[in-house]
Each structure stands twice: as structure tokens, then as C-alpha cells.
Structure 1
Amino acid sequence: MSISIIGFIGYGAMASLMGQNLEQAGYEIIAYTPSGKGHGDADVPMLASPRLVAEQSDAVILCVPDDAAENAALHGPDGLLAGLREGQLVLDTSTVSPEQADNLATLLGERKVEVMDTPMSGSTPEADKGALIMLAGGPKETLKRARPILDCIGRITLHTGPAGSAARLKLVVNGIMGGTLNIIAEGIAYGLAAGVDRNVLFDALQELAVISPHHKRKISMGKARKFPSQFPTRLMSKDMGLLMEAARRCGVPMHGMAAASQNLAASNHYHANEDYAALIAKMERDAANR
């Protein structure tokens, strides 16, 4: 089955940027969101249900915030499952639990629909440039079919193994991001409380090779005390929770990740829709009395 029409389930900040890059590559884009409104390109038709998206698409990209949103889109008379056809391709770019990824592979496999879990690493700046790193779990044959789509939205695609493997690796990636940001925020809080000049502290951290470019962006937000939402705190906090539960199931102790998860959960109370770098501001207020 050739692919010319791609349907999105969820068309928020990340999905709309992916959609724009796919449109520029010649694909036609349609979408569904629970609100009936998309983000970004007003020319993308917003359909009334996931079922309609499935019925009118050659391939479907899921980009929803969590397991509950994905299940709501999948099931029921107007759900995605009701409209999918044998031979269609489904790519799940959402960050969901490993169990959710496994369940989706089973459900779609029973319908002879090709599916891969394809979460991305990167935020809105990378999505805008088509420079995301795409993780892909599923059969190599399915990846071959999906690669032209993934190449439009990412600079590289890493085949992680069988279905569900990409979902698991994504939790590793986001855990490292959240855990590292927590360490940075704690270090900044100590430096400020100890009397280090604020500008000197933030500027010095920008020069260190041990801090990634991603986290240097977060430090810049912290210095400016402005946190435009490239990766909302509510989503990072959710992902840390998924990682903690997945690690518990595997019997893996995660003491450092647990501390980061708790701090991000507390930050989420105040900064849910701001970038997760707002943890720096929370630590600055709480620990350094600023």
C-alpha cells in the first residue's frame, strides 16, 4: 500500500511541526484532536474522530500525551481501531508505558496492521528543523516502509529491536534528561545559597563540556527566569513516573531518578505547562530563598 495521506491522532506542538515537515515532503496531512483544534498549520483538516482519520489515511501517527489519551483514541465505535484497515501503517510517537506499547502491537497485529513504537528524542526546536532522533521498535520490514516518513521528521532513526523496545529506551533517555536537570538545579541552588554571583554561576555552566547542549538551553532559561514550553513539566513528570514504575517491575533500584521524579512532581504543581527547566526556578526559590 503506497502512502500519500498521513493522519495524526493528536496535533499539538510536536505533531504540528512534524506535520509541516511531512507536508513539505509532499504528503497530505489530516488530523484529530479531542478539542477539535490543532496546533500550528490552520490548513490541516481536523476530523471529528480517530475512526475517520483511520478511514481516510494510508498511515497514522499517534502523538498523544499518555496511556489514557491513547486508549481513549483507540477504543469505542469512533476509535482508531474501528477504522483501521489491513495493511495500514501506524507509528506511535507518544511516550507511553512499555505495557501500552506491547498492547498496541498486539491489538494492531491481530488486525494485520503494521505498527512500530517510534518515540522521538528532542524538543520543539529539533521538531521544527526535522532533526529529531527517532527510536523505532518493530520488524525491520516495517521500518523499511516507515523510513521515508521518519526521515522527514528526524535526522536519524535508530532501530532498537522488537516491538516495545523503543518505548523502553525512550524512558531511559527521558530519565537521564530529567535526572540530569535535577542535578543541575541542585548545583545551582547550592551555588546561589553559598553566595556565588548569579550571572557568574549561570555563565560558567554554559562553558562546561560535561553539560550537554540540551541542558545548556535549560540553564539559559533558568538565567532568564523564562521557561517557554519546549518540553512541558507535566510531560516530563509523567515520563519520570513511567520510568519509576517500569523500573519497579524490573526490580531495578533508582535512587537518583526517584529524587528527580519527586522534585519534578513538586515543580509540576507550579509549572505544569512551562518547560521542565522551571525546576531551576523552583530550586532557586526554595533552596536559595530567591
Structure 2
Amino acid sequence: MKVGFIGLGNVGGKLAGSLLRNGIDLVVHDLDPALVTAFTGRGAEAGADPAAMMRACDVVITCLPNPAASAAVVEAMLPAVRPGKTWVEMSTTDADEIIRLGAEIHARGGRAVECPVSGGCHRAETGNISIFAGGDRAGVEHVMPLLTRLGRRILHTGPLGTASKLKVMTNYLANANLLALCEALVTMKAAGLDMATTYEAIRISSGTSFVHETESQLILSGSRNVNFTMDLIQKDIGLFQKLADDHGVPLEISPLMISIMTDGQRRYGTRAQSDRIIERLDEATGLAVLAPGFPLELVDDEPEEQGYEVHAARPAAAE
């Protein structure tokens, strides 16, 4: 299976690296030629443009920063789509756009599968990230050999569009947790608590979470560089808010989160690292929420293993 990969940014570059590391015949493309050169130096082939990549490859994966970018790339590929060709969308994007573009692919005889990932850049780099796979069962099974090299746990979520909805939901929850952690850490600092002890108290308690065990470390070290920027946070929670609005759900926390991130962007820059949001509270209190011994970057120390499919638990049918 010859695979094309379009979008070699923070997440895409690490996912493409997992394919290359696992011996996949890989063609890559990005608007930044330096990123392409780094991959060709490791044995990948440079793709000329999206249409050429769809013609040359069995599967083309996209991992792009926003729905508009994904739409532009897929529309450029459409003339080259025919039976036997597959598009895999690994961007975090709008479910309605996935469904629309997937219909265009299907109309030309191709397959479309959405596969957004969750777990952080450090796990994308080691192939230990989780993958939500949306699409018909045959399409998901067709790309499963690639997914089990890209990630550790793969969940088939249902028809096209379901994976994107679940992905923006998980990013909404992660950002809510980040904002709550910022308030918790600054409040404990103000109350005179040791920050390393505070970190451990959260870690071993009912208050712990994946976000705490990863991003709190970067906050306390002063790095505040989680490889995820405020503009991407805004895109994701905006998509979640849109989903709620479309279904008449009167959210209360979500609009506040959007407002807080908007203020963070105004203060620190549109593409500031998302963990810098704690600095709003640092500035308001005059406190430095730091502790020695925490890492400047996250490293996934789990060994890379073949991925596998997981299934939703369902109660046994009544006899």
C-alpha cells in the first residue's frame, strides 16, 4: 500500500514519522518545503501536489490545521479519485464538512474514512496515540493495517462524521480541565502550598486526569509548551459550541472558555501555546506558579507496540 501524507505540522509530522518508521512506502507534501526535505532525507518521496499524490497513492492522509485547508486539499484531489483510492482525514475538523467531502469522494468510487487522534504530540510521535475511526466498516477495515501502526488504540465510532464529533468533545473536555487546573494551581500557590506537593496530591486523587499528568508538568517547569496553540483550542471548542448550537443544547461553560481563550490570545498572541493561559492568573495575583524538577517537554516512555481495535462496552442482551 503506497501512502501519501499531506500536512507535516506538529501532529501530522509525527504521525507521518510513525508510518515511515514502520516501513510504509510514503509520499509527503507540505506548504513548508523544509518539512518535506526532512522527510525525503529519511527515505520518503516528495509529492508534487494533492492531485498527483492521489494519482500515485492508494491512500492519501490529510492532517491540516482547519476545515478550510482540508476542503481545499480534498477538492484539489477530487479529479484523481477513482475506485480503489482512499482518503483518510486525520485533522480535527467539522463533521458536516467531513460528510460533504466524503460524499464527493464516494461519488467518484473512492473510500473516505475520518481518523482524528487524541493523546498529545508526544504520543503521536511514538505511535501510542488513540485514534477515532469514522466511516463504513469496510472502509475502516481497509485502513486498519495503517491505523495500527499510527496508534495504539483504535475505536470505530460509527458513520462518517461521528469521529469528528467525538474528537471535538474530547478536546473541549481537555481544555475545560486545563482551565480548572490553572485555577487550582494558582489558588494553592496563593494559599501557601508547595507546588510539587500540590501536583502529587492531584495526581493520586479523584481530581487527577490525563491533562494534569501531562500539561501541569509543563506549567510547573515554566516550559508551557505543549505543542498546541490557542488558535487550535479556539477552533476545537468553537466546533464543539457549533455542534451544541445545532442541536439546541444551551451550554454555559463553553462560552466562558471561548471568552477566556480569546483574552489569552489578545494578551499573548493568536498562536500562543495553550498552557500560557495560566499567565492571566499569574499576572492577576503576582505569583509565579513554578516548581523545580518538572520536565521542559513531554516524552512518551511507553514502548511502541502494534496497535489494536477497542470496542464500546455494551450490556448483554436480556434473555
TM-score where L is the length of structure 2: 0.82
Q: Provide the C-alpha distance between the structure 2 equivalents of 1:99 and 1:239, rounded to a whole number of angstroms.
A: 14
Q: Which segments of 5 or more consecutive residues in structure 1 lack a partner in the other structure?
A: none
**1:255-274 pair list within 5 angstroms:** 255-269=252-266, 270=268, 272-274=270-272
- Residue 72 of structure 1 aligns with which residue? 72
Deviations 1:96-146 (A, max 9, x none): 111111112111111111011111112111111111111011111111111
Deviations 1:149-182 (A, max 9, x none): 0000111110111111101111111111011111
TM-score where L is the length of structure 1: 0.90
- SS for the counterpart of 2:123 is helix
Q: Provide the C-alpha distance between the structure 2 equivalents of 1:57 and 1:37, rounded to a whole number of angstroms.
A: 22
Q: Provide the C-alpha distance between the structure 2 equivalents of 1:34 and 1:52, rounded to a whole number of angstroms.
A: 15
Equivalent position to 1:41, from 36, 39, 61: 39
- Residue 277 of structure 1 aligns with which residue? 275
Equivalent position to 1:178, from 172, 175, 178: 175
**1:1-290 pair list within 5 angstroms:** 3=1, 5-38=2-35, 41-43=39-41, 44-75=44-75, 79-269=76-266, 270=268, 272-285=270-283, 287-290=284-287
Give 1:226 shift: 1.0
- SS for the counterpart of 1:277 is helix
Contact 1:267 1:282 in 2 (8 A): yes
RMSD: 2.0
Q: Provide the C-alpha distance between the structure 2 equivalents of 1:271 and 1:93, rounded to a whole number of angstroms.
A: 26
Give 1:195 shift: 4.4
Q: Provide the C-alpha distance between the structure 2 equivalents of 1:81 and 1:246, rounded to a whole number of angstroms.
A: 27
Q: Provide the C-alpha distance between the structure 1 equivalents of 2:93 and 2:232, rounded to a whole number of angstroms.
A: 11
Which stretch shows the higher mean deviation, 173-182 or 190-199? 190-199
Give 1:284 shift: 2.2
Give 1:275 shift: 3.6
Q: Provide the C-alpha distance between the structure 1 equivalents of 2:269 and 2:183, rounded to a whole number of angstroms.
A: 17
Change (3 A) 1:49 1:58: same
Give 1:34 shift: 2.3
Question: How many pairs does the alignment contain?
Answer: 283
Percent of aligned pairs with the same amino acid: 24
Bigger relative CO (Cα 8 Å, ≥ 6 apart): 2
Q: Provide the C-alpha distance between the structure 2 equivalents of 1:271 and 1:207, rounded to a whole number of angstroms.
A: 34
Deviations 1:54-75 (A, max 9, x none): 1111101010011111122123
Which stretch shows the higher mean deviation, 124-133 or 34-43? 34-43
